[in-house]
Structure 1
Amino acid sequence: MKKNFRNQVAFGLAAVLAVGSLAGCGDGKKDSTEAKTEAKTEAAKTEAAEETKAAEKETAAVEATEAATTKSGDRMTISVMGIDWGYGPQAGSDMEKYWEDLFDVNLEIEWINYQDYDQKVNTLIASDSIPDVIQVSKQGNGSYYYPIFTQAVDAGVFVDMTPYLFDNGNGIAETNAVMKNWDDAMWAQTKYKDGIYILPRSKAESGQNSGIEVRKDLMEKYGFTEEPTTMDELKDFLIGLSKAASEGEGKKIYGLEFYDDGKKGFMNDYIKAFAIAFTGQTDWAVDENGDFQYMQFQDSYIDFLNWMKDLYDAGAIDPEFALNNSDTSKWKAGNSVAFLSAWYNWNQSADLTSNKIFDESTPATYEAWCLMPVKGPKAYTVSPNYTDVDSCIAISSKCDDAKIQKIMEIFNGTEEQYPGYNDVMKDGVEGLHYTLLEDGTKDTTDEAFKKARQDGYVGAWNQIFLKTDMDQVTDKFMRPGAKGASEENIARVKEIKEFVYSDLAATGMTNAIQNLQSATYDNTWNVLTDDVDTMCAQYVMGQIGEEEWKSFVQGIVESSDYQTIQQEFKEAAAQ
């Protein structure tokens, strides 16, 4: 308001003087009075001009001062919505204020409970009122590109970030200390119709669910120390050790923890890697004819079912697995010899107690181990992730270029840009969320720290801000203090990781429908495959035979819906 008032005064004075000047003009004859008046007028005009210049200089100085104040004081506001995984973070927490000060920005962030998140986001999309940045939720099939989101992308609701990420070597993906390490396969997982509408927050460990975790104490106690290398050897190992342990321990110990969870059933991560060994593919693949092939409908899938049936017949899996009895064969409770899980989730501490792995009620004598992936007829037991994108965000197309640039700047921070960034992402701020001890460890036991950590959602901002890529070997097995794993376990997990990564690089195995859209698939797949897991269970339990299984599968693959799904995936892949 000040600078406008000064301008008005200066221009008003000049206008008044200009009118006075015109009023003094006559027929060209001037008497002495007129001459004096004219002289006074000229002097006034000169004085006014000088005052105008002075006012303009003062105005310029005020504007410069106000511009500087705006630059340092008035922050850009960015609205954000992220997922609260049940911690109840508070708005305006110390953690939030720390990020605002670090990035010189105002964050209007709303954390929505995970149970309500998808509905809230989809409602905002439908009403065209999404915030500047949203976290995109991974769906049940492992995809971030789901129908409502892709429809919004098609409608122009979200920003294609490709030009900001890739720019002849100058884009963020090409220069950022974290992102520049991501390969083409990683970026391929972010694409929809050649555009990038989801921005990963880190790259997850590959082939996660490829770990055959076993009870090492039972292996040694009952003489099963020779590790299996093939699916046939693994079957004999599970059956033999299950029988020996059950007799020796005086209670039933199954060979394999498995149950039909009622959602993914025989496609769940507890057995999928075993099915891959027989089929040579994950959920979907493209066959030699260019057709999309679903794993369970492959001819060789029945070989996997026969492998499972042998375990069932030998009593090595819970006879009531189809009833979702998850506790009866729970590996962590000591009820099974083996458990197919993440290859890095058996990170038992060297003292077997400070990081127990097994349930608290189990003895300290239980020891965890992990077998190397074993070889099947068509592949190793290496199960690729549906996506390596750990979490991601999307940006509203209502943001102008300046705001998009700012979002790209602050949401993609690194340790190189902001020293100490990685520690804050993981543990929060020293003095606010922990005390740094002399040995370098962080003490978070103070109740005030605990509350501040919960209120500030410390450790969970990596859902929306960039973080370093997953390194489970370092983070889980090589942690300082008593929770660190033994040298033997560290060596084994490194060996497994190297094998998994090498195998995936060699096979190039991925889910072939990743990020492809098919309306018929979205609308009919659950109904079309509703009975598949029931038929699998009945086959394993001996209630139906091979001919019944093959006839059932044939009925699905020859249906009009399945054929339409095939065609729609082909069309989507060609775009």
Structure 2
Amino acid sequence: MKRKGIKTAVLFLCCALLLTACGGGQSTGEEAGSYDENAKATITWLNILHTASPPTDTILNKIEEKTNTDIQFSWIPDASKEERINTALASNSLADVVTLTILDNSSVRNALKSGMFWEVGPYLDEFPNLAKIPEDTRKSASIGGKLYGVPFQKDLARNGITIRKDWLDKLGLELPKTTDDLMAVAKAFTEQDPDGNGVADTTGFVDRNDLIYGAFKTLGSYFGVPNNWKVSEDGKMTPEFETQEYIDTMNFMKNLFDNGYINKDFAVTAKTDQQQKFAQGKAGIYVGALFDSKNLLNMAKGIQDNMELEIVNNITTTGNESDRAIWAANNGIGGLIAFPRSEVKDEAELKRILKFINDLMDEDVYALMTYGIEGTHYTVDADNATTITDTDLWQQEVQPFSSTRPKEFGYDIHDADPLKQKSDKLIKENAKHAVLNPAYSLDSETYTTQGSELQKIMTDATYKYILGESSLEDFKASVQTWRDSGGNRMIEEYEAAYKEVHS
């Protein structure tokens, strides 16, 4: 296996130095197929960092020991990932392994389609963990029917509702089962002084400036909105905002806003501020990832010590189980672990790196990257439930690796926290009702080049309608603007791509 140089102690360098370091190695000239897959391998990895600072070597050393590798990470801060990845692709200055999380980025998509990265679909079944990647996941992560990396596997549908159970109990209310119930609870939480302080200072919902990961898209699922696109039996595609269900969702949100059942500044509220408001007792309904409930309760300690939370994932307009639906974020794909042909020179080298990715999916390695070292970072009971014992140390040494895990679910080891256990259970249950985006793996040049610009037209129009700044006629005029500005072309391209894949 080629060597890439001495492991650097300084992980944050300027972009030019980082990219030069990643691309500096040369092949040893071994013939394809002659590499010993059981030999210790040196593997470089251009990876995304989602924490304030990179990890120490404590967990890295353990991972290297278990995977028989020397791993040389070059970390790119999440905030600058798009610019840095674009630069790396343009200069072909990469690493053996490259984390690609922005698959709708035009540079990334074009690089994948150009053959810059290995197609790995034909090799996955040679490795026990990789072979278990579901066919639907492989298809969703493919471009033009080809899989150019190992997909990061995330839970299909993580969202639902976190609600103040203590407020429900105080007001004599049941957990909501329908959207009408939810509206009634929001009204009561706003008007009936659920915190008992004699001041009208609470709202039902607290939301943020995000139509996707905030409340809107999850509420849309409850009303039956398709996940981005609706496909007819003959392959005709309709954008979600042209459905009646989307309008119903806007009307629900507009009702919340008009009556003061949601924070008036939700359209400009950041996620951290949203969560702080909930933790401070300003509202009783939070829509987002179900596992946020644990964090919200922890944030409330010392502020709202009497807070009791419940989580809900079965809201419908009718109350019927058969009508349950929840959108699947990126079809459960968190991006690709990709392997550039410029760095991974032959099939034998590719297979050795795929073995490494396969080994990262073993339960003991997953435990390392999620919880750390038993006795140092966490304890575990007879039921394989873990409790973090040193949060500061865990955040420093373990947390940065969480986004590097190729798979985030399906393991026996689990969190001991009751809310986290319940959220895991409900997220697993959500998968049965998950609604996929039928266009996720399809190719549209217009989407690649104009997707963000076109989406802004409809995002702005949606907010304006909810906030009472425009009429339904104005909203429909914006839809026409979207069509005239490239939407019609996008629809044609997606329909052609859909036909090609399903013919």
> Equivalents in 2 of 1:328, 1:86: separation in Å?
20
Aligned with 1:564 (options 463, 466, 489): 489
Does 1:125 pair with 2:51? Answer: no
Secondary structure in 2 matching 1:189: helix
The answer for the alignment partner of 1:242 in structure 2 is: 190
Q: Deviations over 1:328-361 (max 9, x none)?
A: 793232111211112233248xxxxxx9334345
Secondary structure in 2 matching 1:271: helix
Aligned with 2:298 (options 341, 350, 357): 357
Following superposition, the deviation at residue 374 of structure 1 comes to: 1.4
Aligned with 1:298 (options 243, 247, 251): 243
Following superposition, the deviation at residue 255 of structure 1 comes to: 1.1
8 A Cα contact 2:204 2:262, kept in partner = yes
TM-score, length-scaled by structure 2: 0.78
Aligned with 2:341 (options 397, 400, 404): 397
The answer for the alignment partner of 1:232 in structure 2 is: 180
TM-score, length-scaled by structure 1: 0.69
Following superposition, the deviation at residue 227 of structure 1 comes to: 2.6
- Residues 129-528 of structure 1: pairs in structure 2 closer than 5 A: 129-137=93-101, 139=102, 144-166=103-125, 171-172=126-127, 175-176=128-129, 179-201=130-152, 203-209=153-159, 211-224=160-173, 226-245=174-193, 248-249=196-197, 250-259=199-208, 261=209, 264=210, 266-287=211-232, 290-324=235-269, 327=273, 330-347=277-294, 356-376=297-317, 379-380=323-324, 382-390=326-334, 392-398=336-342, 399=344, 400-413=346-359, 420-429=364-373, 445=390, 450=393, 454=396, 457-461=397-401, 463-464=403-404, 466-467=406-407, 469=409, 475-476=414-415, 479=416, 484-485=417-418, 493=423, 496-497=426-427, 499-504=429-434, 509-528=435-454
The answer for the alignment partner of 2:32 in structure 1 is: none
> Equivalents in 2 of 1:546, 1:111: separation in Å?
46
> Equivalents in 2 of 1:459, 1:86: separation in Å?
8
8 A Cα contact 1:425 1:467, kept in partner = no
One-letter identity of the residue aligned with 2:431: Y
> Equivalents in 2 of 1:311, 1:552: separation in Å?
23
> Equivalents in 2 of 1:114, 1:411: separation in Å?
21
Secondary structure in 1 matching 2:292: coil
Secondary structure in 2 matching 1:387: helix
8 A Cα contact 2:97 2:339, kept in partner = yes
Secondary structure in 1 matching 2:451: helix
Residues 532 and 422 of structure 1, relative CA distance in 2, 3 Å threshold:
closer
> Equivalents in 1 of 2:110, 2:410: separation in Å?
31
Q: Deviations over 1:443-469 (max 9, x none)?
A: 86599xx49x83xx5354454454562
> Equivalents in 1 of 2:77, 2:473: separation in Å?
47
> Equivalents in 2 of 1:392, 1:375: separation in Å?
33
The answer for the alignment partner of 2:472 in structure 1 is: 546
Q: Deviations over 1:152-192 (max 9, x none)?
A: 122221000012113xxxx22xx33xx44432222222211
Following superposition, the deviation at residue 253 of structure 1 comes to: 0.9
Q: Deviations over 1:395-454 (max 9, x none)?
A: 1123212211110112211686xx8434433344568x559799997886599xx49x83
> Equivalents in 2 of 1:160, 1:73: separation in Å?
22
Structure 1: 5+ residue stretches without partners? 1-69, 349-354
> Equivalents in 2 of 1:297, 1:230: separation in Å?
24
Secondary structure in 1 matching 2:176: coil
Residues 115 and 302 of structure 1, relative CA distance in 2, 3 Å threshold:
closer
> Equivalents in 2 of 1:253, 1:437: separation in Å?
39
Secondary structure in 2 matching 1:195: coil
8 A Cα contact 1:434 1:444, kept in partner = yes
Structure 2: 5+ residue stretches without partners? 1-34
Residues 149 and 539 of structure 1, relative CA distance in 2, 3 Å threshold:
closer
The answer for the alignment partner of 2:79 in structure 1 is: 115
Residues 470 and 243 of structure 1, relative CA distance in 2, 3 Å threshold:
farther
> Equivalents in 2 of 1:375, 1:106: separation in Å?
50
> Equivalents in 2 of 1:133, 1:328: separation in Å?
36
Identity %: 20
Residues 405 and 338 of structure 1, relative CA distance in 2, 3 Å threshold:
same
> Equivalents in 2 of 1:322, 1:96: separation in Å?
41
> Equivalents in 2 of 1:71, 1:405: separation in Å?
10
Following superposition, the deviation at residue 288 of structure 1 comes to: 5.0
Q: Which has the higher contact order (CA 8 A, sep 6+)?
A: 2
Q: Deviations over 1:184-215 (max 9, x none)?
A: 222222211121112134x3222111x11111
8 A Cα contact 1:412 1:465, kept in partner = no
8 A Cα contact 2:213 2:288, kept in partner = no
8 A Cα contact 1:145 1:515, kept in partner = no
> Equivalents in 2 of 1:74, 1:474: separation in Å?
30
Secondary structure in 1 matching 2:192: helix
Q: Deviations over 1:238-285 (max 9, x none)?
A: 1123211268432421111124x2xx4x34432212122334312222
One-letter identity of the residue aligned with 2:149: I
